[in-house]
Structures are given as structure tokens and as C-alpha cells.
A = this chain, B = another copy of it.
Amino acid sequence: MKWDNIQEMPCSVARALSIVGDRWTLLILRDCFMGTKRFDKFQKQIGLTRHRLTDRLNKLVEHEILRKVPYQEKPLRYEYRLTRKGVDLYPVLMTLVKWGDKWMAGEDGPPIEYFHTQCNHTMSIELSCSECGETINPKEVIPKVGPGLRAYSERLKSQS
């Protein structure tokens, strides 16, 4: 199985990772959420090669997670901005932050803290249920076959 094929799996994790699941893309997006918009700044902050960066930014633009917006003419230059689809990846980054803060920060404590302007507290994120609002415990969530997987299975059947 080549990586390029995982997007065809009937699985939202696989499909999401087919775009953002490589070694650098989520770091690029982290920088986007911190306000970075320009090529050289990404390159310096992350330290990946310019070649790779070009490649990853193009892929993100292609998938409409970032879009290129001209910020000057002469010479024409673009900056990279998050789209709605890109901003929707915020929870993925924040869950990684929370895990990294808990398990990787060591004695120094979390590198970055997050201040919630709505309640004026330094906070961390929690996962809650869209229906009842309660905090999620993995054991209390049961995965079931959904319409997407059913459709996929039926297509497989009709092919054979």
C-alpha cells in the first residue's frame, strides 16, 4: 500500500491524514495558527528544506486548506492564509498540544499557554459531546457503521 492510496479508505482518519498526515504539514499549519503567512518565515521557524516547503504549501493550497493572497506587486508575492477548511483543523492542533503538554513537556511545563478571552482564564481544551455537552470518555463512545461505509460496501459488492 502506498500512502497516496490511503485516501480511498472508507475512513475519515485515513482521508484526513492523506492530506495533513505527513511529517511537516501539521507543523506548517501550527505556524499558520500562530500568524505566520510567508514562505521564508515558515522555512526559518520550521527548518524544513525550501524544496519540501514549496511542495507542502502547494499541496495545502491545492486542497483548499490554505489560499495564496497577493501582498505586494513588483515583484508579485503571495502570502498563505488559512481558509475555513484550514481553520477547521484547529481542534486537531489543539488536541496535539494538550497531549504534548501532558506527556512530553517534562518539568519545564507547557511551552505555550492558552488564554480564553471569553472567561479570562488560562485554559486547556476538553472534548465534549455535541448532543449532551458532557465531557467525552472514550469508553462511552461506540463506533457504528455509518452511511459512508455502507455506500462503500455496496459499491464493492456491485463491482464483483
Residues of chain A touching chain B, judged by Cβ–Cβ distance below 8 Å, are 1, 3, 5-7, 10-17, 19, 21-23, 26-27, 30, 33-34, 46-49, 85, 87-106, 108-119, 121-138, 140-149, 151-152
Contact = CB atoms under 8 A, between A and B. Distances in A.
A148 to B, nearest CB: 4
B104 A147 contact: no
Contacts of A1: 46-49
A108 B23 contact: no
A140 to B, nearest CB: 5
Contacts of A128: 125-128, 133, 135
Contacts of A132: 116, 118-119, 121, 123
